[in-house]
Chain A
Amino acid sequence: MSGQASPLWQLVDLSKAFPGVQALDRVSLPIERGQIHALLGENGSGKTTLAKCLAGAHQPESGQMLLEGTPVILEHPLDAVAHGVATIYQEFSLVPSLTVAENIFLGRPLKRPRTGLVDWERMRRHTNLLLQQLSIEIDPQAVVGQLSVAEQQLVEIAKAMSLESSLLIMDEPTAALGLTETRRLHELIRRLAGQGKAILYISHRLDEVFQIADRVTVLKDGRRVDTRPIGELEMNDVVRMMIGLDIEHHYPKEFNSRAALCLEVEELSTENGINGVTFDIRVGEVFGLGGMVGAGRTEIAKALYGVDRPTAGSVRLYGRPVRFNSPTQAVAAGVGLVPENRKADGLFFNFQGPANITISRLKGLVRRIFLSLGEERRVGAEYVHKLSITPTALERTVQFLSGGNQQKVVIARWLYSQARLLILDEPTQGVDIGAKLEVYRVINELTRQGISILLISSDYPELLAMSDRIAVVRDGRILHIAPAKELSEYELLSIASGADSQNGRAGASARPPRDQE
């Protein structure tokens, strides 16, 4: 120890328990200046708790946090900010109706010395300077709500940097970002590390971590498994550390596609930017939609589901022409949607599991003229068993379930409603590897039963592995349809990003129709 410069932060034997679970169990960890330190682990492994201890949102029960060798106690998030810790959560802390400059100086406006009035001009200049230093090309006067999710994230980072932070904690920063945007974010993070900032980077996406991190720490069940420089590790090693599984088992793909057609879409266009898309989905097929965030994948789903009205083209479901004016009609015809944002658009937090599952086919519970709650309980237990959902779902409202279990509850809804075509929009976003495997297993089970699946995923390895065929979407058009086996990730990326076309990287960022949110 002696003579060695102490790391920026050194966590020593940090422990924290919640009712019924040891969230952190004697975790020790150095966080060095100028390094991007990735924190990996399944949901429930303790990484968010660790981050929240550093952010002052949780207080450890035992152990120490040393800032440059001196023990500090962070009793409140403001203490953490005062000690140079900036945290960027998945949910932004920006005010959508205010401008970038107003957001950055929120709560601490610069004032004119004599009058005490707010000095807008100086705030704008400071913001401009700050953004320039970070090479962020955003107008300080822009209203935050009108920026893309990715731009908002950059603003969030700029705000953190304006607080003179030495440690930046990022929890799943790329969950909502497309490829180009992720790349931009990574460039910025690297620049910050280059300026000597320490970055604690929490992510589910291993490929990303391998691209960007200098060091990796894996947590499992609240304990630190290992901390290693990234160069010493293979992706397989990390997965094994996280779950004890080999990556080959990652994608248990079954091919259940049959000859008969489930869905035929011809020259479909919508006001929302979908421009003459044509494709079909076979019975039992997983049809993947690849593309950047904002390329129009979600809009295709919305058009098929009766949310957006088509302006041209035709849709046939099992050979019968259909035209849905509302999700009600789509549901009645046997189409189901597992939305991208399950909390906002999928789940009823005021209901327990069974009521969440039965909501799309309450008819099935009717005995004589009234709903049978006994039957509902039975249905709930049946699907909890079928999809290995935690039995807790039967007794508690679904807000208490993990992301993976919540996702399975939404999928169970469409199984129970006997959907024949299921649209899965980013079904594994924000769920841990164990739960991802469960979702893949469910996809296999569905297709085996002859249910067809339209899979939207920004996780390209997943999309390539789990789809039978893939359509690449860009600017509201389908550019290419091919069997998934014949596509490489490289090809998929280059078509989706427009890297294959002559004007290089234009495609994705040029006036795309906005995805949800």
Chain B
Amino acid sequence: MQNLNKFVRVAIVGPVIALFLAVVLITFTTDRFMTAQNLMNVSLQVSAVAIAAIGGTMVILTGGIDLSPGSSVALTTCVLAVLVKLMGLPLLVGILVVLVMGAAMGALNGLLSAYGRIPTFIATLATLSVYRGLAFLITKGTPIFNISPGLDRVFYDRLFGIPLPFYYVLVLYVMTYVFLRHTSIGRAIYAVGGNESAARLSGIQVNRIRMVAFVLAGFTASISGLLIAARLNSGSPNYGVGLELQAIAAAVIGGASLTGGIGNIISTLFGALTVAVVQNGLNLNAVPAAWQNITLGLIIVLAVSLDMWRADLGRGLSRIFSFERSEEK
């Protein structure tokens, strides 16, 4: 559809500019950024955020928000470590179990918010605390190292010379793109976020759609957790702190509207790249962690205010257009 394509192209401009600005800025501050090795590092690091941002975007599209992925990641790494290292289960079984658990964690978020009618912000704030608490509980607070020799390979192996995480990101984003754009459920996700009441009266099972978004969000969070566990070959209740904010930042920089119904997954990928590049730049310039946190916060504020200003602008225009000019004579 030409117009939708045009829309996607326009929507993608913002995050691409953001990414470009970030790259230019950092290239000027350090000459270590534009090296092949560093760019490879950034790309590898971005994979965890980018994948968690898929679920984050879907929940935002339904008009909700998911604050739990960082904790889901921590619990995922810990459960994997306990199952494989301490209980001696085969690695593949461990991976399958944590993926299912990811979906279950998402389902709990969905149950609480869709059926329990707890606002998503509160429901996932609660599970943020619960999931990380569980991670501390099962590890007694200490990281578990060297989970399995095979686990490294999930992250570090290459196919045709390119590290595997590239493929994960590519495949998951293509699948999500097709899912959101070319399936009924994907369309319903946009409808629920656009106008919940109209969606219900159009015959859409609103709660079920919310569940789908959250289950997928939990699932992608656990994939993200797997990558982090594989990169460090360990599980720790302290992993993934702040990941939820990075995922939300990726979606919002990508132009997803926090009121729901507007956003696209390709832009989210550029948003995730922007977040990763900025973080990498701060690392290279030896900016202390405290300031990195502050910077991420400021970026989120900036991205959301841009979204709001855009909405105001849109409303202003629509007010002008709607009542006298509506017929486009």
Binding site for B on A (CB under 8 A): 18-21, 23, 43-44, 46, 48-49, 305, 307, 326-328, 330-332, 337, 339, 344-352, 355, 359-360, 362-363, 366, 369-371, 373-374, 376-377, 390, 392, 394-395, 399-403, 405, 413, 417
Set B184, B193, B323: member contacting A363, Cβ < 8 A? B184
Q: How far does the Cβ of A67 sit from chain B's closest Cβ, in whole Å?
A: 24
Q: Contact at B1–A376, with CB atoms within 8 Å?
A: yes
Chain B neighbourhood of A18, CB < 8 A: 320-321, 324-325
The 6 sampled A-B contact pairs (Cβ below 8 Å) are: A18-B324, A21-B324, A44-B327, A362-B187, A400-B326, A402-B326
When C-beta atoms are compared, the residue in chain B nearest to A337 turns out to be B201
A129–B103 alpha-carbon span in the complex (Å): 62
A425–B188 alpha-carbon span in the complex (Å): 24
Inter-chain contact total with CB atoms closer than 8 Å: 125
Q: How far does the Cβ of B326 sit from chain A's closest Cβ, in whole Å?
A: 3
Name the segment of B25-33, B76-84, B202-210 touching the other chain.
B202-210
A179–B259 alpha-carbon span in the complex (Å): 37
Q: Contact at B320–A373, with CB atoms within 8 Å?
A: no
Known: A359-B191, A400-B321, A400-B326. A328 touches B198 (CB 8 A): no
A403–B326 alpha-carbon span in the complex (Å): 8
Beyond A49-B323, A331-B203, A403-B326, 15 additional contacts (C-beta under 8 Å) are A20-B328, A21-B324, A44-B329, A49-B324, A332-B203, A347-B198, A350-B190, A352-B4, A362-B184, A363-B184, A366-B184, A390-B328, A392-B328, A400-B318, A405-B326
Chain B neighbourhood of A370, CB < 8 A: 178, 182-183
Q: Contact at A373–B1, with CB atoms within 8 Å?
A: yes
When C-beta atoms are compared, the residue in chain B nearest to A351 turns out to be B194
Chain B neighbourhood of A360, CB < 8 A: 202-203
Set B195, B203, B318, B326: member contacting A330, Cβ < 8 A? B203
B110 at the interface (CB under 8 A from A): no
When C-beta atoms are compared, the residue in chain B nearest to A406 turns out to be B326
Chain B neighbourhood of A307, CB < 8 A: 201
Chain A neighbourhood of B262, CB < 8 A: 350
Within 8 A of A (CB), among B52-90: none
Q: How far does the Cβ of B204 sit from chain A's closest Cβ, in whole Å?
A: 7
When C-beta atoms are compared, the residue in chain A nearest to B184 turns out to be A362
A400–B185 alpha-carbon span in the complex (Å): 26
Set B183, B191, B193: member contacting A371, Cβ < 8 A? B183
Chain A neighbourhood of B193, CB < 8 A: 350
SS class of chain B's interface: helix, strand, loop or mixed? helix
B322 at the interface (CB under 8 A from A): yes
Chain B neighbourhood of A359, CB < 8 A: 187, 191, 199, 202, 204
Set B178, B194, B201: member contacting A350, Cβ < 8 A? B194
Q: Contact at A48–B323, with CB atoms within 8 Å?
A: yes
A127–B194 alpha-carbon span in the complex (Å): 40
B237 at the interface (CB under 8 A from A): no
Could you tell me how many residues of chain B have their Cβ less than 8 Å away from some Cβ of chain A? Answer: 37
Q: Contact at A371–B187, with CB atoms within 8 Å?
A: yes
Q: Contact at B201–A339, with CB atoms within 8 Å?
A: yes
When C-beta atoms are compared, the residue in chain B nearest to A328 turns out to be B203
Q: How far does the Cβ of B200 sit from chain A's closest Cβ, in whole Å?
A: 6
Q: Contact at A350–B200, with CB atoms within 8 Å?
A: no
B197 at the interface (CB under 8 A from A): yes
When C-beta atoms are compared, the residue in chain B nearest to A331 turns out to be B203
A349–B184 alpha-carbon span in the complex (Å): 18
A351–B4 alpha-carbon span in the complex (Å): 10
Chain B neighbourhood of A23, CB < 8 A: 324-325
Chain A neighbourhood of B204, CB < 8 A: 328, 359
B261 at the interface (CB under 8 A from A): yes
B3 at the interface (CB under 8 A from A): yes
Chain B neighbourhood of A352, CB < 8 A: 3-4
Known: A44-B327, A373-B182. A349 touches B195 (CB 8 A): yes
Set B194, B200, B322, B324: member contacting A348, Cβ < 8 A? B194
Set A347, A366, A394: member contacting B195, Cβ < 8 A? A347
Known: A20-B328, A328-B205, A332-B203. A348 touches B261 (CB 8 A): yes
Chain A neighbourhood of B3, CB < 8 A: 352, 394-395
Set B181, B194, B205, B324: member contacting A46, Cβ < 8 A? B324
Contact with A along B162-187 (1 / 0, CB 8 A): 00000000000000001001111001
Chain A neighbourhood of B187, CB < 8 A: 355, 359, 362, 371
A350–B188 alpha-carbon span in the complex (Å): 12
Q: Which 4 A-B pairs have the closest CB atoms?
A: A331-B203, A402-B326, A350-B261, A350-B194
Q: How far does the Cβ of B157 sit from chain A's closest Cβ, in whole Å?
A: 31
Q: Contact at A399–B183, with CB atoms within 8 Å?
A: no
Chain A neighbourhood of B181, CB < 8 A: 371, 373
Q: How far does the Cβ of B58 sit from chain A's closest Cβ, in whole Å?
A: 15
Q: How far does the Cβ of B115 sit from chain A's closest Cβ, in whole Å?
A: 14
Q: Contact at B326–A44, with CB atoms within 8 Å?
A: yes
Chain A neighbourhood of B183, CB < 8 A: 369-371
When C-beta atoms are compared, the residue in chain B nearest to A17 turns out to be B324
Chain A neighbourhood of B184, CB < 8 A: 362-363, 366, 371
When C-beta atoms are compared, the residue in chain A nearest to B185 turns out to be A362
A315–B148 alpha-carbon span in the complex (Å): 63
Q: Contact at B1–A327, with CB atoms within 8 Å?
A: no
Q: How far does the Cβ of A295 sit from chain B's closest Cβ, in whole Å?
A: 21
When C-beta atoms are compared, the residue in chain A nearest to B314 turns out to be A399
Chain A neighbourhood of B191, CB < 8 A: 348, 351, 359
Set B1, B200, B324, B325: member contacting A377, Cβ < 8 A? B1
Chain B neighbourhood of A351, CB < 8 A: 190-191, 194
For B193, B203, B322, the residue with the greatest tally of chain A CB atoms inside 10 Å of its CB is B203
Q: How far does the Cβ of A356 sit from chain B's closest Cβ, in whole Å?
A: 9
